Structure 1
Amino acid sequence: MEIVLTEQITFLGIFAVGLVAGSVDAIAGGGGLLTLPALLATGIPPINAIATAKLQSTAGTCSAAICYFRNGTFDLKPLLLALPCTLIGSISGVICLNYINPQFIHGLLPLLFIVVGGYFLLSPQVGDLDRRQRITPNMFAVLIGTSIGFYDGFLGPGTGTFLMAGFISLLGYNLRRATAATKVLNLTSNVAALALFICAGQVLWSYGLVMAAGQIIGGNIGARLAIGRGTGLIRPLVVSICLVMILKVWGVEMFHLLT
Structure 2
Amino acid sequence: MEWWILTAASALAGFVDAIVGGGGLILVPALFAVFPQAAPATLFGTNKSASVWGTAMATWRYARRVEMRWAALVPAVLVCLIGAWLGAWAVTLVSAEWLRRALPFVLAAVLLYTLAKKELGRHHRPRYQGRAEALAACTIGGTIGFYDGFFGPGTGSFFVFLFVRWLGYDFLSASAAAKLLNTTSNVAAVALFAWKGHVWWHYGLAMAAANVAGSLLGTRLALRHGAGFVRGVFIAVVTALIAKTTWDAYGALP
TM (normalized to structure 1)?
0.91
Q: Which residue of 2 aligns with 1:81?
A: 75
Whole-angstrom CA distance in 1 between matches of 2:47 and 2:167: 30
Structure 1, gaps ≥5 residues long: 1-8
Match of 1:139 among 111, 121, 135: 135
8 A contact 2:123–2:169 mirrored in 1: yes
Whole-angstrom CA distance in 1 between matches of 2:70 and 2:220: 19
1:1-259 alignment runs, 5 A limit: 9-43=1-35, 44-131=38-125, 133=127, 136-258=132-254
8 A contact 2:41–2:193 mirrored in 1: no
Deviation at 1:186, TM superposition (A): 0.5
Whole-angstrom CA distance in 2 between matches of 1:19 and 1:248: 20
- Give per-residue Cα distances to partners, 1:24-63, cap 9 Å, x unaligned: 0111211101101111122232110011111111011011
- Read off the aligned partner of 1:40 and give its amino acid letter: F
Deviation at 1:73, TM superposition (A): 4.0
- Give per-residue Cα distances to partners, 1:80-123, cap 9 Å, x unaligned: 11011000000000111110101111111111111211232222
- Read off the aligned partner of 2:31 and give its amino acid letter: L
Q: Which residue of 2 aligns with 1:6?
A: none
Deviation at 1:182, TM superposition (A): 0.5
- Read off the aligned partner of 1:176 and give its amino acid letter: L
Whole-angstrom CA distance in 2 between matches of 1:238 and 1:93: 25
Deviation at 1:132, TM superposition (A): 5.2
8 A contact 1:90–1:150 mirrored in 2: yes
- Read off the aligned partner of 2:134 and give its amino acid letter: N
Q: Which residue of 2 aligns with 1:4?
A: none
Structure 2, gaps ≥5 residues long: none
How many residues are aligned here? 250
Deviates more, 1:155-164 or 1:118-127: 118-127
TM (normalized to structure 2)?
0.93
- Read off the aligned partner of 2:237 and give its amino acid letter: I
- Read off the aligned partner of 2:247 and give its amino acid letter: G
